Amino acid sequence: MTAKIRHLIAVAAATMTLACGAQAQPQSKTPTAPAQAVKNIVLVHGAFADGSGWRGVYDELTARGYKVSIVQNPLTSLADDVAATRRVLNRQDGPAILVGHSYGGTVITEAGSGPDVAGLVYVAALAPDAGESTLDQFATYPPPPDFIIEEQPDGFGFVNGPKFKQGFAGDVSDADAAFMRDSQVPIAMSVFNATVTQAAWRVKPSWFVVATEDGAIDPRLLRETARRIGADTEEVKGSHVVFLTQPKAVADVIDQAARHAGHGAR
């Protein structure tokens, strides 16, 4: 065998090795945000919770290239929670998708009408119209019987302990439900009677996640709310804390909102 032939064989072998190595690289199954997508996501929690429950959604979205910020609502008044949300919005370097869970839907409805918000995502959430309160939303469909709020002498409320899992977090483990019950953040009950002055969903494209096994907000109310605000709607099997138990499904809806809002339309 001549030196020239040996050289050609070596080159061919090296080329095949590189090709096989390239084919062996695993393909990522996580979609990445396209260049035209809205890059900033702001997540707003609801009553009796804090922002840490968004961790799974945060991980999903940051892996897709989004910049994600989480509001920590004081839950002392609607005005305070709106101010906390706007404070985080003001830190973004461009327009954001504003996401609210439960009572957080009321917050984003009031806070989200400015040019810094490209779209809204409601996750098992409420969405009052201007002049309506959070409590007004329950006129047609009251809360399910296992969701019981106990008001304290100082005007703050907690979810009833023995009914906490059934009413709030039916699809988490007993241990996780116990921790959530014992670490819940009380909310000023006056918040539920505070009316919003503007409804961002009237001027912003909206998306909605219906939790089909919600024990705190009747799923029929969630569907009715989604229809009323004209939201693109996704039904996800999960409890009231569907964002905690089904983070990928919720992140997929937020991802869709960011992609479509980046085009300026649903």
Task: Write out pLDDT tens, residues 101-146.
Answer: 999 999 999 999 999 999 999 999 999 999 999 999 999 999 999 9
Q: Helices (H) and strands (E) in the chain — how many of each?
A: 9, 9
Residue 195 is given by DSSP the state B
Neighbours of 123 (CB within 10 A): 33
Residue-wise pLDDT for 55-78, tens only, equals: 999 999 999 999 999 999 999 999
Q: Is the pLDDT of residue 195 over 90?
A: yes
Instruction: Specify the CATH architecture of the domain 40-261.
Output: 3-Layer(aba) Sandwich (3.40)
Residue-wise pLDDT for 11-52, tens only, equals: 333 333 333 333 333 333 455 666 668 999 999 999 999 999
pLDDT of residue 37: 84
On whether the CB atoms of residues 239 and 168 are closer than 8 A, the answer is yes
On whether the CB atoms of residues 99 and 123 are closer than 8 A, the answer is yes
3-class DSSP assignment, residue 257 = helix
3-class DSSP assignment, residue 234 = strand
